[in-house]
Amino acid sequence: MNPRDPRWAEIDELQRGAVEQVRRRAEAFWREYERDRDQGVLAAWFVPRCWREIDYVFMLGEVIRRYGLGFERKHITALSRQLHDEAEHYEAVGRIIELLGGAVPVEPPASARVWSTFLWESLDRHRLGAIAAWNMSETAATGTLDGIVEAGRRYDLPEVVRVYEGIVKEERFHVGLGRLMIERYAVTDEDWDEVLRAMRGIAAIVLESHTAVEVPL
Ligand SMILES: [Fe+2]
Ligand SMILES: [Fe+2]
Protein backbone atom coordinates (compact mmCIF):
# COMPACT_ATOMS: atom_id res chain seq x y z
CA MET A 1 0.00 0.00 0.00
CA ASN A 2 1.40 3.29 -1.13
CA PRO A 3 1.71 5.66 1.85
CA ARG A 4 0.82 8.49 -0.54
CA ASP A 5 -2.59 6.89 -1.17
CA PRO A 6 -5.26 9.59 -0.64
CA ARG A 7 -6.81 7.40 2.05
CA TRP A 8 -3.80 8.22 4.23
CA ALA A 9 -4.64 11.91 3.91
CA GLU A 10 -8.00 11.26 5.55
CA ILE A 11 -6.36 9.14 8.27
CA ASP A 12 -3.70 11.81 8.94
CA GLU A 13 -6.38 14.48 9.21
CA LEU A 14 -8.49 12.38 11.59
CA GLN A 15 -5.44 11.68 13.73
CA ARG A 16 -4.34 15.31 13.83
CA GLY A 17 -7.81 16.36 14.96
CA ALA A 18 -8.01 13.63 17.62
CA VAL A 19 -4.57 14.48 19.07
CA GLU A 20 -5.48 18.18 19.29
CA GLN A 21 -8.87 17.60 20.93
CA VAL A 22 -7.43 15.17 23.44
CA ARG A 23 -4.55 17.53 24.23
CA ARG A 24 -6.91 20.43 24.91
CA ARG A 25 -9.17 18.36 27.16
CA ALA A 26 -6.18 16.96 29.07
CA GLU A 27 -4.87 20.50 29.64
CA ALA A 28 -8.29 21.45 31.00
CA PHE A 29 -8.12 18.49 33.40
CA TRP A 30 -4.75 19.61 34.78
CA ARG A 31 -5.96 23.19 35.19
CA GLU A 32 -8.88 21.81 37.21
CA TYR A 33 -6.54 19.58 39.23
CA GLU A 34 -4.33 22.59 40.00
CA ARG A 35 -7.13 24.13 42.07
CA ASP A 36 -7.67 21.48 44.77
CA ARG A 37 -5.13 18.72 43.97
CA ASP A 38 -7.54 15.97 44.92
CA GLN A 39 -5.64 12.65 44.81
CA GLY A 40 -8.89 10.70 44.56
CA VAL A 41 -9.81 12.54 41.35
CA LEU A 42 -6.32 11.93 39.98
CA ALA A 43 -6.54 8.21 40.80
CA ALA A 44 -9.93 8.11 39.07
CA TRP A 45 -8.43 9.81 35.99
CA PHE A 46 -5.91 6.99 35.70
CA VAL A 47 -8.56 4.22 35.99
CA PRO A 48 -9.83 4.19 32.36
CA ARG A 49 -6.20 4.64 31.22
CA CYS A 50 -5.22 1.59 33.22
CA TRP A 51 -8.10 -0.47 31.87
CA ARG A 52 -7.16 0.34 28.28
CA GLU A 53 -3.69 -1.12 28.93
CA ILE A 54 -5.01 -4.53 30.00
CA ASP A 55 -7.71 -4.50 27.31
CA TYR A 56 -4.91 -4.07 24.74
CA VAL A 57 -3.20 -7.12 26.23
CA PHE A 58 -6.37 -9.18 25.73
CA MET A 59 -6.99 -7.83 22.22
CA LEU A 60 -3.41 -8.27 21.05
CA GLY A 61 -3.53 -11.87 22.29
CA GLU A 62 -6.75 -12.48 20.40
CA VAL A 63 -5.50 -10.83 17.18
CA ILE A 64 -2.36 -12.98 17.35
CA ARG A 65 -4.31 -16.17 18.08
CA ARG A 66 -6.99 -15.58 15.46
CA TYR A 67 -5.12 -13.89 12.64
CA GLY A 68 -1.41 -14.14 13.47
CA LEU A 69 -0.50 -16.93 11.08
CA GLY A 70 -1.79 -14.82 8.19
CA PHE A 71 0.90 -12.23 8.98
CA GLU A 72 4.64 -12.52 8.47
CA ARG A 73 6.42 -14.09 11.44
CA LYS A 74 8.27 -10.87 12.23
CA HIS A 75 4.91 -9.15 12.62
CA ILE A 76 3.70 -11.82 15.07
CA THR A 77 6.85 -11.06 17.06
CA ALA A 78 6.27 -7.31 16.92
CA LEU A 79 2.64 -7.63 18.04
CA SER A 80 3.79 -9.91 20.87
CA ARG A 81 6.31 -7.28 21.96
CA GLN A 82 3.52 -4.71 22.04
CA LEU A 83 1.42 -7.15 24.10
CA HIS A 84 4.23 -7.41 26.64
CA ASP A 85 4.64 -3.60 26.75
CA GLU A 86 0.90 -3.17 27.41
CA ALA A 87 1.02 -5.72 30.24
CA GLU A 88 3.84 -3.70 31.82
CA HIS A 89 1.82 -0.50 31.35
CA TYR A 90 -1.13 -2.10 33.16
CA GLU A 91 1.13 -3.07 36.02
CA ALA A 92 2.81 0.35 36.21
CA VAL A 93 -0.32 2.50 35.85
CA GLY A 94 -1.97 0.20 38.41
CA ARG A 95 0.88 0.98 40.80
CA ILE A 96 0.30 4.72 40.30
CA ILE A 97 -3.40 4.29 41.10
CA GLU A 98 -2.55 2.40 44.29
CA LEU A 99 -0.02 5.06 45.32
CA LEU A 100 -2.81 7.63 44.95
CA GLY A 101 -5.09 5.51 47.12
CA GLY A 102 -7.33 4.18 44.32
CA ALA A 103 -8.34 0.68 43.19
CA VAL A 104 -6.89 -0.94 40.05
CA PRO A 105 -9.68 -1.88 37.60
CA VAL A 106 -10.29 -5.59 37.00
CA GLU A 107 -13.30 -5.09 34.74
CA PRO A 108 -14.09 -2.40 32.16
CA PRO A 109 -14.94 0.82 34.03
CA ALA A 110 -18.12 2.52 32.79
CA SER A 111 -16.08 5.28 31.11
CA ALA A 112 -14.16 2.78 28.92
CA ARG A 113 -17.04 0.49 27.91
CA VAL A 114 -18.10 2.15 24.63
CA TRP A 115 -14.45 2.34 23.58
CA SER A 116 -13.83 -1.31 24.48
CA THR A 117 -16.99 -2.63 22.80
CA PHE A 118 -16.17 -0.82 19.55
CA LEU A 119 -12.62 -2.23 19.48
CA TRP A 120 -13.77 -5.81 20.11
CA GLU A 121 -16.42 -5.51 17.38
CA SER A 122 -13.77 -4.20 14.99
CA LEU A 123 -11.57 -7.17 15.92
CA ASP A 124 -14.40 -9.57 15.00
CA ARG A 125 -15.12 -7.92 11.66
CA HIS A 126 -11.68 -7.96 10.04
CA ARG A 127 -8.09 -8.89 10.82
CA LEU A 128 -7.05 -5.22 10.57
CA GLY A 129 -10.13 -3.82 12.35
CA ALA A 130 -8.80 -3.72 15.90
CA ILE A 131 -5.31 -2.74 14.75
CA ALA A 132 -6.75 0.24 12.83
CA ALA A 133 -9.00 1.27 15.72
CA TRP A 134 -6.28 1.10 18.35
CA ASN A 135 -3.83 2.88 16.06
CA MET A 136 -6.21 5.85 16.02
CA SER A 137 -6.77 5.55 19.77
CA GLU A 138 -3.07 5.28 20.63
CA THR A 139 -2.24 8.17 18.33
CA ALA A 140 -4.88 10.32 20.02
CA ALA A 141 -3.50 9.34 23.43
CA THR A 142 -0.12 10.81 22.51
CA GLY A 143 -1.90 14.17 22.98
CA THR A 144 -2.01 13.53 26.74
CA LEU A 145 1.28 11.75 27.41
CA ASP A 146 3.75 14.66 27.49
CA GLY A 147 1.30 16.59 29.65
CA ILE A 148 1.20 13.72 32.16
CA VAL A 149 5.02 13.71 32.44
CA GLU A 150 5.09 17.50 32.91
CA ALA A 151 2.30 17.36 35.51
CA GLY A 152 4.15 14.59 37.34
CA ARG A 153 7.16 16.95 37.64
CA ARG A 154 5.03 19.92 38.64
CA TYR A 155 3.16 18.06 41.38
CA ASP A 156 6.13 16.05 42.62
CA LEU A 157 4.86 12.63 41.54
CA PRO A 158 8.14 10.91 40.59
CA GLU A 159 6.50 7.54 39.87
CA VAL A 160 4.17 9.20 37.34
CA VAL A 161 7.17 10.83 35.62
CA ARG A 162 9.19 7.61 35.53
CA VAL A 163 6.35 5.41 34.30
CA TYR A 164 5.07 7.80 31.64
CA GLU A 165 8.53 8.60 30.28
CA GLY A 166 8.76 4.88 29.50
CA ILE A 167 5.24 4.74 28.07
CA VAL A 168 5.95 7.71 25.75
CA LYS A 169 8.89 5.82 24.19
CA GLU A 170 6.99 2.56 23.79
CA GLU A 171 3.93 4.23 22.32
CA ARG A 172 6.09 5.49 19.45
CA PHE A 173 6.83 1.86 18.59
CA HIS A 174 3.13 0.86 18.91
CA VAL A 175 1.85 3.70 16.73
CA GLY A 176 4.50 2.96 14.10
CA LEU A 177 3.69 -0.75 14.15
CA GLY A 178 -0.05 -0.17 13.65
CA ARG A 179 0.61 2.05 10.69
CA LEU A 180 3.07 -0.42 9.20
CA MET A 181 0.55 -3.27 9.54
CA ILE A 182 -2.09 -1.26 7.68
CA GLU A 183 0.38 -0.27 4.94
CA ARG A 184 1.46 -3.86 4.55
CA TYR A 185 -1.86 -5.73 4.80
CA ALA A 186 -4.63 -3.36 3.61
CA VAL A 187 -4.82 -4.40 -0.03
CA THR A 188 -8.40 -4.76 -1.27
CA ASP A 189 -11.18 -2.17 -1.17
CA GLU A 190 -12.90 -4.31 1.45
CA ASP A 191 -9.78 -4.15 3.66
CA TRP A 192 -9.76 -0.38 3.32
CA ASP A 193 -13.46 -0.05 4.04
CA GLU A 194 -12.92 -1.89 7.32
CA VAL A 195 -9.78 0.10 8.23
CA LEU A 196 -11.52 3.42 7.61
CA ARG A 197 -14.70 2.31 9.38
CA ALA A 198 -12.67 1.38 12.46
CA MET A 199 -10.64 4.59 12.43
CA ARG A 200 -13.59 6.92 11.88
CA GLY A 201 -15.62 5.10 14.51
CA ILE A 202 -13.01 5.22 17.23
CA ALA A 203 -12.06 8.82 16.41
CA ALA A 204 -15.62 9.79 17.34
CA ILE A 205 -15.45 7.83 20.60
CA VAL A 206 -11.92 8.66 21.61
CA LEU A 207 -12.45 12.15 22.91
CA GLU A 208 -14.74 10.98 25.71
CA SER A 209 -12.67 7.91 26.39
CA HIS A 210 -9.36 9.75 26.69
CA THR A 211 -10.62 12.50 28.93
CA ALA A 212 -12.95 10.58 31.23
CA VAL A 213 -12.50 10.59 34.97
CA GLU A 214 -13.96 7.39 36.36
CA VAL A 215 -16.46 8.17 39.08
CA PRO A 216 -15.23 6.26 42.15
CA LEU A 217 -17.90 3.79 43.32
FE1 LIG B 1 0.10 1.14 26.69
FE1 LIG C 1 0.40 1.05 23.35
Calpha distance 146→157 (Å, rounded): 14
Q: Give residue 209's pLDDT.
A: 65
Q: Give residue 4's pLDDT.
A: 66
Examine the pLDDT at 216 and tell me if it is beyond 80.
Answer: no
Calpha distance 68→75 (Å, rounded): 8
State what percent of residues in the chain have pLDDT above 70: 93
CA of 144 to the centre of ligand 1 (A): 13
CA of 36 to the centre of ligand 2 (A): 31
Q: What angle do CA 169, 107, 156 make, to 5 degrees?
A: 45
* Ligand with minimal distance to 88 CA: 1
Report how far Cα 130 is from the mean position of its chain's Cα atoms.
11
188-207 burial, b at 16+ Cβ within 10 Å, e below that, comes to eeebbebbbbbbebbbebbb
Examine the pLDDT at 1 and tell me if it is beyond 70.
Answer: no
State what percent of residues in the chain have pLDDT above 90: 90
Count other C-beta atoms under 10 Å from residue 130's C-beta: 27
Q: Give residue 213's pLDDT.
A: 66
CA of 86 to the centre of ligand 1 (A): 4
Banded model confidence at residue 5, pLDDT cuts 50, 70, 90: confident
Q: What angle do CA 160, 112, 107 make, to 5 degrees?
A: 85
* Ligand with minimal distance to 86 CA: 1
Calpha distance 26→184 (Å, rounded): 33
Examine the pLDDT at 210 and tell me if it is beyond 70.
Answer: no
Report which of 102, 129, 105 is spatially closest to residue 53, judged by C-alpha positions.
105
Q: What angle do CA 126, 138, 200 make, to 5 degrees?
A: 50
Banded model confidence at residue 217, pLDDT cuts 50, 70, 90: very low
Collect all residues with Cβ–Cβ distance below 8 Å to 104 and sequence separation of at least 6: 50, 94, 97, 98
Provide the mean pLDDT of the chain: 93
pLDDT tens-place string over residues 62-116: 999 999 999 999 999 999 999 999 999 999 999 999 999 999 999 999 989 999 9
pLDDT tens-place string over residues 102-152: 999 999 999 899 999 999 999 999 999 999 999 999 999 999 999 999 999
* Ligand with minimal distance to 164 CA: 1
* Ligand with minimal distance to 167 CA: 1
Sorted by where each starts, the structural domains of the chain and their CATH numbers stand as 6-211 (1.20.910.10)
CB 160 within 8 A of CB 151: yes
CA of 171 to the centre of ligand 2 (A): 5
CB 159 within 8 A of CB 95: yes
CA of 166 to the centre of ligand 2 (A): 11
CA of 135 to the centre of ligand 2 (A): 9
CA of 173 to the centre of ligand 2 (A): 8
CA of 92 to the centre of ligand 1 (A): 10
Q: Give residue 206's pLDDT.
A: 85
CA of 35 to the centre of ligand 2 (A): 31
- Mean pLDDT over 26-48 rounds to 93
* Ligand with minimal distance to 134 CA: 2
Q: Give residue 73's pLDDT.
A: 98
CB 97 within 8 A of CB 103: yes
Neighbours of ion ligand 2 (CB under 5 A): 174
